[in-house]
Structure 1
């Protein structure tokens, strides 16, 4: 509980009553006085979300006057999501934080076998808290971007070891070193060439619950269907490559790829349909796009065939889904007619 109190110290400096924060999270304030107590993951996530909302700061008040406005992490994530690999994503995130004028200095030092991401925040008073958070978030976000459970070789801090250092060490398998010359995240150089397997659609889902996903940190290894989804989403936009092109990308023969997909109880057609479904749900949330426009983006020449496909996927029409999603009145979205098929893409 001592580590939690340390994280809450910024909110307390900004005038928040810690007991009120605990009660709003459905927690007993007396827990704060029990150093041996621990919060369940869900309780901790809920408490941190409340603190961010109260402080209007993604640094949860730890920056002492330097705030990371809500939405800053989301903007950074959107800036890097289309990068081809992790190296480009890290470089772009470093550029992003300079542009938004946050006191964060990120520097990539690439070696033959190991690479260091040196992190500094010179003008922040509680910089030790901010640096710990930045390194933790970086490793977890990179894991999500690449679809791999990444474990740093070592983590280094240029400040003395705090009393609660054991709680931070338990978050990582690698060494955590304090009182070093610089604060840095050390990892295998091979990480830099890892392709990003996520895309803008998966990012929109991630950002709805990013705090929970980062804290839990359970990035799953990317299987063959997910690799194919990543190839289509990143390289082909709203069009679909033919099966031979996908085989070439994966360095597999058509027979091998069909067999591997069958072993995973799916097929190329099912993967394409799932992408269309996810993309449809995403674009129906964009009120500026008409249903006809979304139908064309999904590869349908007629809205009616898109209407039937969407109803098959979800049991609802695109219009009714959009009305509920956007809170629109009954007559705000025109229903589509079921006429003849107009399917274009395979």
Structure 2
């Protein structure tokens, strides 16, 4: 899913785990146009083809957001101008326009997500255009720890290439979540490049711990998702692709089929009051405790993990705001003891709240 690039250089001000209300912050749009300029493409022509009413790179543009439709059209026009769905970030591994759609079509009739991912890897190995670059792309399963890892290594020493590859792995996980109608939570990630000077782009996709200067780029998630059946068909894929840049880069498309997403909606973003108990949750969802546990296990998660992730995501959003101390953020996400918040936040993200900020 390498087509939507420029994200690693963003100065993102809002966590993607919260609703953008179908709008896209201007930082994402400008990042696309900066990418176009880097490859000497006609920005004005791209904007005109995307039916943009103004130039986001000009200081006179005061609009803070664009619509998801505008952003998606701009991504498509950038790809067409470059003739490369990788956005030009991997010069030795060119991705012809239309490749992503064909990969997804090849995945649709797979028996489960594991088979779909392996089919995509096989497609990638056979059909992408190379010019001598080393590539490693594989899916591994750790049954002992009930984890799956999707890895991708491009034999280019440029740090930005590896950062982009890692972000693209996160995009593919979002696509996989759409295919099975489940939210796939990335537990941790590794990057083959050094820690970037501007971390917002990577954080946009990874609120979890990320280890840098590792042998490969990888994302690790619950192995239970690999057993899930695909719930999409070709007609749904056609509709999805119209706004794919928005749902893949900005905000994943929420599935009403996922009990995880339903629970996240119930929890909301207010953690000052006590959260529902598991027994109360079963009543809100109209499920028995046994059914709910089975559904959560099938989606590779638990109620405690969903609560932790909800607090984590809200804490990340609050830490990006000026004027709030770490203690105030801790209180707003339900921690009366700041030291307990520090310990939990470091467990969630691999960093202390102060370092993350």
Q: CA deviation at 1:140?
A: 1.0
Counterpart for residue 79 of structure 1: 106
Residues 180-195 of structure 1 mapped to structure 2, 5 A cutoff: 180-195=214-229
2:178 to 113, 133, 144: 144
Distance 1:211 1:6 in 2: 13
Counterpart for residue 211 of structure 2: 177
1:197 to 231, 250, 257: 231
CA 94–170 in structure 1, closer or farther in 2 if over 3 Å, else same: same
Gaps of 5+ in 2: 1-6, 11-27, 260-357
Distance 1:18 1:204 in 2: 28
User: Does 2:138 align with 1:107?
Assistant: yes
Residues 1-346 of structure 1 mapped to structure 2, 5 A cutoff: 2-3=9-10, 4=28, 8=33, 10-18=35-43, 21=46, 26=52, 29=55, 31=57, 39-40=65-66, 42=68, 43-64=70-91, 66-102=93-129, 104-112=135-143, 113-122=146-155, 127-215=161-249, 216-222=251-257
Quick check: 2:46–2:77 contact (8 Å CA) kept in 1?
yes
Give RMSD over aligned pairs: 3.2
Quick check: 2:86–2:94 contact (8 Å CA) kept in 1?
yes
Q: CA deviation at 1:164?
A: 2.7
Q: CA deviation at 1:188?
A: 1.1
Distance 1:77 1:148 in 2: 17
More relative contact order, 1 or 2 (CA 8 Å, 6+ apart) = 2
Q: If the length of structure 1 is used for normalisation, what is the TM-score?
A: 0.56
Deviations 1:33-70 (A, max 9, x none): 79xx9654625433322211211211122223542111
Distance 1:134 1:218 in 2: 17
Deviations 1:234-267 (A, max 9, x none): xxxxxxxxxxxxxxxxxxxxxxxxxxxxxxxxxx
Indicate the SS of the match to 2:114: helix
Counterpart for residue 299 of structure 2: none
Indicate the SS of the match to 2:205: coil
Counterpart for residue 268 of structure 1: none
Deviations 1:285-342 (A, max 9, x none): xxxxxxxxxxxxxxxxxxxxxxxxxxxxxxxxxxxxxxxxxxxxxxxxxxxxxxxxxx
Q: CA deviation at 1:75?
A: 0.6
The number of equivalent residue pairs is 223
Distance 2:203 2:213 in 1: 15
Distance 1:87 1:212 in 2: 25
Quick check: 2:163–2:202 contact (8 Å CA) kept in 1?
no
Distance 1:97 1:124 in 2: 21
Q: If the length of structure 2 is used for normalisation, what is the TM-score?
A: 0.54
Gaps of 5+ in 1: 225-346
Indicate the SS of the match to 1:109: strand
Q: CA deviation at 1:162?
A: 1.8
CA 200–18 in structure 1, closer or farther in 2 if over 3 Å, else same: closer
| Structure with bigger gyration radius | 1
Counterpart for residue 23 of structure 2: none
